[in-house]
Amino acid sequence: MNAFVRSDQAAPEDGIKAGEVMLRVENVSLAFGGVRAITDVSFDILKGEIRAIIGPNGAGKTSMLNVINGFYHPQEGEIWFRGVKRSNMKPHQIAHQGIARTFQNIALFKGMSTLDNIMTGRLTMMRRNMLWQALWTGPAEAEEIRHREFVERIIDFLEIQHIRKMPVGRLPYGLQKRVELGRALAAEPQLLLLDEPMAGMNLEEKEDMSRFILDVNSQFGTTIALIEHDMSVVMDLSDRVVVLDYGKKIGDGTPDEVCRDQTVIDAYLGVSHD
């Protein structure tokens, strides 16, 4: 009853099996004028895994996420998503591809209810034009009911029934983060990008959020890439970790491997770069 039934508008299945490469970043470099944010970074994300991107402040983590979801176009290097080399796309085209994300600073519509905010995550799947939707009859009505049902399943899944009709601006921070995750889930993503999903949360909220991330991953098989500062969370949640420092990749592997890596330890403890 609670399993998400993929609706017909979902991004097409591509025949990739769990454990095969879903997204590959090859020798990507990104510069803003003279500032090199990312230098020659390569790694891959396997289908069904939770992949963490970590690194000290300014390491280029968020830039990397923006490259993955197509917001930034790297000057060099290639992105392969589901076996297809990606050309430069507009963000909404990316969304249609099946990548959704949450933001480091919450980006919700503060005056709208939880329900409406999550509903916006379904926008890319609405097929009826604005006139139909304004009339809200016939096929538009049927479509909205279908989307609403999906959104209600997300509300149930994230246990936010009690704030369904509350304006998001009035909610505490931890709940807003949950609503944002809900909106990302509403797009039925193949790949979910989470930018510091637990920043600023207290221990209990972190535990809740960790549980939801694991549940999303295990129940819907959604592949997740996340940026996080809390190392204990990263170690518990992720299958593999990629470590960035000053825009370069300095480590890649399971949490245990990364933890023991001397370069990584140096980067975190602050060895001088000269």
Partner 1 sequence: MTDAAMAAEGGLDTFPKLILRNARIRAGLPAMREKDFGIWQTWTWAEVLGEVEAAAIGLAEIGFQRGDTCAVVGANRPRLYWTIMAVQSLGGVPVPVYADAIAEELAYVLEHADVGFAMCEDQEQVDKVLSVAENLPGLRHIIYDEERGLADYDHSRLSSFVTIQQKGRDRLAADDSAAQAFLDSIAAGKGSDISIILYTSGTTGRSKGVMLSAERCIKAATDTVEFDRLTERDEVLAYLPLAWVGDHYLNYAQGIVAGFCMACPESSATAAHDLKEIGPSFYFAPPRVFENMLTQLTIRMQDAGALKRWMFDYFIGVARRYGEKILDGHSVPASGRLLYWLGHLFVYGPLKNVLGFSNIRVAYTAGEAIGPDLFSFYRSLGLNLKQLYGQTEAFLYVTAHPDGHVRADTVGPPSPNVDVKIAENGEVLFKTPGQFIGYFKNDEATKETIDAEGWVHTGDAGFFDTDNQLKIIDRAKDVGKLRDGTLFAPKYIENKLKFFPNIKEVVAFGDDRDFVCAFINIDLNAVGNWAEKNNLAYGSYQELAAHPDVNRIIEGHVDQTNQDLAREPAMAGAQIKRFLVLHKELDADDGELTRTQKVRRRFIAERYAPLIEAFYDGSSEKFVETEVTYEDGRRGKIAATVQIRDMETYPTRAAEATREAAE
Would you count residue 1 as binding partner 1 (CB under 8 A)? yes
Please list the residues that pair with 248 across neighbouring strands: 245
Specify the stretch interacting with partner 1 by CB under 8 A; choose among 39-47, 100-108, 146-154, 266-274: 146-154
The amino acid at 8: D
**Strand order from edge to edge, sheet including 223-227:** 99-102, 191-195, 223-227, 50-54, 240-245, 248-253
- Minimum Å distance from CB 146 to partner 1? 12
Whole-number minimum distance, CB 177 to partner 1, in Å?
18
Q: Which is nearer to partner 1, 2 or 88 (CB)?
A: 2
- Residue 5, class by beta-carbon neighbours within 10 Å (0-12 exposed, 13-18 middle, 19+ buried)? exposed
Could you tell me if 209 and 178 are in contact, meaning their C-beta atoms sit under 8 angstroms apart? yes
- Name the residue nearer to partner 1 (CB basis): 54 or 154: 154
Q: Which is nearer to partner 1, 55 or 121 (CB)?
A: 121
Q: Which is nearer to partner 1, 7 or 29 (CB)?
A: 7
Chain positions 149 to 208 lying near partner 1, rule: CB under 8 A, are 149, 152-153, 155-157, 159, 161-162, 164
User: CB 162 → partner 1: shortest distance, Å?
Assistant: 4
Nearest approach, Cβ of 22 to partner 1 (angstroms)?
23
Task: Count interface residues toward partner 1 (CB under 8 A).
Answer: 16
For the CB of residue 118, give the shortest distance to partner 1 in the complex, in Å. 12
Task: Report the residue number, 21 or 214, with the smaller CB distance to partner 1.
Answer: 214
**Smallest gap, in angstroms, from Cβ of residue 236 to partner 1?**
16
Residue 215 near partner 1 by CB under 8 A:
yes
Q: Show the 3-state SS of the chain.
A: CCCCCCCCCCCCCCCCCCCCEEEEEEEEEEEECCEEEEEEEEEEEECCCEEEEECCCCCCHHHHHHHHCCCCCCCEEEEEECCEECCCCCHHHHHHHCEEEECCCCCCCCCCEHHHHHHHCCHHHCCCCHHHHHHCCHHHHHHHHHHHHHHHHHHHHCCCHHHCCCEHHHCCHHHHHHHHHHHHHHCCCCEEEEECCCCCCCHHHHHHHHHHHHHHHHHHCCEEEEECCCHHHHHHHCCEEEEEECCEEEEEECHHHHHHCHHHHHHHHCCCCC
Task: Decide whether 14 or 152 has the Cβ nearer to partner 1.
Answer: 152
Nearest CB to partner 1, comparing residues 75 and 218:
218
Instruction: In angstroms, give the least distance from the CB of 163 to partner 1.
Output: 9
Q: How far is the CB of 184 from partner 1 (least distance, A)?
A: 19
Closer residue to partner 1 (CB): 72 or 157: 157
Near partner 1 in 253-272, by CB under 8 A: none
Positions that interact with partner 1 (CB under 8 A): 1-2, 148-149, 152-153, 155-157, 159, 161-162, 164, 215, 218-219
